Amino acid sequence: MPYYVIGNFFIYSIINAITPGPGNILALNTVTNYGLKKGRPLFTGIFAGYYIVQIICAVFVYGISAFLPNVLNIMKYIGAAYILFLAIHIAISKPPSECTEKSASFVRGFMLQFVNVKIYMFGITALTGYITDYSTSLWILLLFEIIIATIGTISTTLWIGMGMLIQKAYRKYYRIINIILALTLLECVFSMLK
């Protein structure tokens, strides 16, 4: 696998993981409302759910590659379209409004990930856009999904750790940050379609 493909995989993964999504926003909101100690069960649920969903994505992509190999080429273009949509959405989005959560439970964080379409698309797009051209081995797919889940977990931890600092900086500079992230995602789309 060429180094530029791995580099673009990491760029895509980091941008996708660090941008505001349901898990990151819920973690930020929870730490600001409940604090780190009371929010810990919810954070653990978010992390555990992330890993399970990414394993499901790896098995899905493996199944598609084994039984319907021609579908992977189509999925690459669907993935590129999704990244393009994500880039446009990021470029025009504004900071999310805060929501108030009633509970900081493990189950709430865990279940959030099973309905979080962003991370399903994230995992499937990353594999079909960067990895399956070079390997469709279940173990390789699982390895890259574990990497994705780890990057996502680190990202959510950053949102937790920086709490209000990130929220203030993002709210102040969201337009510049979003445009830079969107342009970087566009480069990822072009590299996928080479």
Average of per-residue pLDDT across 1-27: 86
Amino acid at 6: I
User: Domain residues of the chain, as ranges?
Assistant: 3-192
Pick the range with the lowest mean pLDDT from 15-19, 97-101, 177-181: 97-101
pLDDT at position 192: 63
**Where residue 168 falls among pLDDT bands split at 50, 70, 90?**
low
Cβ burial 88-127 (10 Å sphere, 16+ → b, else e): eebbeeebbeeeebeebebebbbebbeebebbbbbbbbbb
Cβ(194)–Cβ(2) under 8 Å? Answer: no
Cβ(84)–Cβ(189) under 8 Å? Answer: yes
Residue 126 pLDDT exceeds 60 = yes
Query: How far, CA to CA in Å, does 118 sit from each of 24, 41, 76, 107, 150?
Result: 11, 22, 16, 19, 16
- Between CA 132 and CA 112 the distance in angstroms is 28
Of residues 129 and 91, more confidence is placed in 129
